[in-house]
Amino acid sequence: MWITLSATVGTFPCSIPGRRLLSTIDEEIQNLRFAHSRGRRAPVEVIRLSELRRRSMKHDIFAPTRLDFHALQFVLKGTGAHWVDFARHSLKQGDVLQIRSDQVHAFDAESNHEALLLLFRPETIPPEPMRRLTMFLDAPVPLAKHEFSSFVQLLDFIRRIDGMPEEKRLTSMAPGLLDAIISGLDEIITRGNATIRTTHHHRASELVYRFENSLQSGSRRHPVSEYAAQLHVTQRTLARACQAIRGRSPKQLMDRHFTMEAKRRLILGDDTVEEIAFDLGFSESTNFVKFFKRIAGTTPDAFRVEQKNHSSE
């Protein structure tokens, strides 16, 4: 396998008040919508991490946050970490880390590494490379020195375009450079795993991609048979695809997804365990508590208390 996972599961870091990312915030949960910091209409922006740390913002970049866009972090120098869905990913120079719009992330307050952050709307990317990026770039990936240098040059070019006066700027160039970056990462992904472009693998990964999107787009759990029917395949076909691509059964993927969603709700909101259980499709809260404890190793209430105690330290 071409990906080297480097992460430790734990609690999200403590928040540090007075920091805000690019755009806007809704309610008390940090839900960020894409908005170019210079007011551009371009669906892509590149920011240096050091610049982001220096900005005076209402949004706390060190607290759990959900984006409505994708982000890629290219580490320029130093070592550090980034939190994605309760995992602390170690980062070093030459690494690239993806943050998807369905995940909860936070910058690590104790890290001082430098990075370029590529922020973009996923719908601007061609479906096929975007699908592979979403499916297979799920941990920090070390790039070869010459490959990393090529990406940095493209990222710097996007920054230079943004810095140009309106009358001198070619607005169509930034999306084209974004396509080049995604295509380059797609090439690295497929080169590292020769089976990805085979017809069988393509069909299986496309089915799993659609299945996982179904899980993410709906708030309530349903039997595997309903997901299979929605995808117009048999349960056996779905099971084979999930096993081939993720190494797990559809039910295991469902359990992982809804446990993660429950953790997000427990940390980012004030809903009761009973409310969360109902919203996720459990008829009884006791069934939800048993489910959560089986997967997470602790009860929902204990998990919430642990996280809140950590954030108040």
pLDDT digits (tens, 9 = 90+) for 147-178: 999 999 999 999 988 877 766 666 667 888 99
d(CA 60, CA 13): 11
Domain final residue, candidates 157, 172, 194:
194
3 state SS for 144-177 = CHHHHHHHHHHHHHHHHHHHCCHHHCCCCHHHHH
Q: Please state at what angle helix 199-217 crosses helix 250-268, rounded to 10 degrees.
A: 40
Is there a single domain that holds both residue 183 and residue 243?
no
Domains: count for the chain: 2
Is there a single domain that holds both residue 50 and residue 184?
yes
pLDDT tens sequence across 60-71: 788 888 888 999
Is there a single domain that holds both residue 64 and residue 156?
yes
Is there a single domain that holds both residue 141 and residue 18?
yes
Assigned domain for 249 exists:
yes
Domain final residue, candidates 140, 160, 194:
194
Average pLDDT over residues 182-207: 78
pLDDT of residue 27: 37
d(CA 282, CA 274): 9
Is there a single domain that holds both residue 213 and residue 307?
yes
Assigned domain for 7 exists:
no
Is there a single domain that holds both residue 153 and residue 268?
no
Is there a single domain that holds both residue 145 and residue 206?
no
Domain of residue 253, residue span? 199-311
* Residue 287 CB coordination number (10 Å): 11
Assigned domain for 2 exists:
no
Is there a single domain that holds both residue 291 and residue 210?
yes
pLDDT tens sequence across 12-40: 554 433 333 343 333 345 778 888 887 77
Is there a single domain that holds both residue 179 and residue 30?
yes
Mark out the alpha helices in the chain (DSSP H runs). Answer: 49-54, 127-136, 145-163, 173-192, 199-217, 224-230, 235-246, 250-268, 273-279, 285-296, 300-311
pLDDT of residue 1: 23
Average pLDDT over residues 94-99: 96
Domain final residue, candidates 173, 194, 215:
194
Cβ pair 108, 11 in contact under 8 A: no
pLDDT score of 238 more than 70: yes
Assigned domain for 1 exists:
no
Tokens linked to 166: 């309106």
Percent of the chain predicted with pLDDT > 70:
83
Is there a single domain that holds both residue 154 and residue 270?
no
Assigned domain for 38 exists:
yes
CATH of the domain at 271: 1.10.10.60
Which among 10, 13, 54, 39 has a CA at the least distance from the CA of 21? Answer: 54
* Residue 299 CB coordination number (10 Å): 14
> What's the pTM?
0.76
Is there a single domain that holds both residue 182 and residue 204?
no
DSSP label at residue 266: H
Task: Give the confidence band of 265 by pLDDT, cuts at 50, 70, 90.
Answer: confident
